[in-house]
Structure 1
Amino acid sequence: MSIAPYPDWIRPPAGGYTAEDLDRLPDLPPHTELLDGSLIFVSPQTKFHVRAKRLLERGLETALPVGWEVWPEMTITLDRRNRPEPDILVVHEESDTGYLQTTFSAEHVLLAVEVVSEESRERDREIKPRKYAAAGIRHFWRVECDEGRPVVYTFELDPASSRYFPTGIYHKQLKVDQPFPVEIDLT
């Protein structure tokens, strides 16, 4: 029995990968992200993760103003070496480049949502929010698990410092007026 050779992308090039490489590398695992030029592979999602994502996606779809779209699991090109994949995005409809589109430009993203998983805790709490803020994404929501129920932490960008500041913590009901009026029963 012969063992298949490792794919070429297992060894990164000098300087790391670029955002464009994610579309060219053959046989990458689904939902591969790029952070600081390194490929990030995700673990299987838990039931909590899938349920929280669906709940927020449906709630956002219901509240969405004209001209905006909700997209689950699409990447954002932040810069040449960073192309993360938030769990949910709200993007301007003008960002649509056709049915073969694989990423959105940060300038078109209004809201990025990350549902925190055990394996992605540091990335979702620290690394990605810092990168989203630096790229100018105005709103960020982080979703944590509290005994099987979602808790939503909302943040808004301070353009003077390019940092997020907390705007609320929601346990039973998410009710906000920014980035647009949204009301979601979290129970």
Structure 2
Amino acid sequence: MSLFMWCAVLGCGALALSLLLDGLFDGLDDLLFDGSLPVLACALGVFGAVGMGVQALAGERLSTPVLIGVPLGLAVVAGAVTRAVWRRLRRSMPRNATPLTVGELVGSEVQVVWWKDGRGEVMATSRGHQATLPARSDDVLRTGAVAWVVDTTADDTLVVGRIDPPAPTEPTSRPVNRPPAPAG
């Protein structure tokens, strides 16, 4: 097997594995860039396929720079197109496709679902997701109350504080002017 055939097989195989085993190779995204495995696999596959085509059509009559340059140029173009399509698809995905984390809830309001002895559960809403999470607080809370997320703990428990309701407005008492009572 030629070098080009190996590149085509490895590129297509890596692309198929990245699609079938989605999420397993996401560590490469942290190493290079977001979507790096599909982009690199597509470029490698195109390099191999075009290289085999050029080699089959021209045979041994081509110089090495042409034999390598043409497939390499088309591989770079294929990688750039794949990267552009990948970025476009990522931007078009809704932001709420990823689940919410407790860290992003710090500073937001939550509603108490149940509460007893400084611990309970609260319902949080963020980016269209709703989640019921464990919480703790030194404040006295009751079911249905609205609380403020102050911090999180290592075990993903929210630390919440009470939001004091606005002071009720009392009607002002005005002295009533009554006519004096009749004498007699």
> Normalising by structure 1, what TM-score?
0.20
Higher relative contact order (Cα pairs below 8 Å, separated by 6+ residues)? 1
> Normalising by structure 2, what TM-score?
0.20
The structure whose residues are more often helix, as a share, is 2
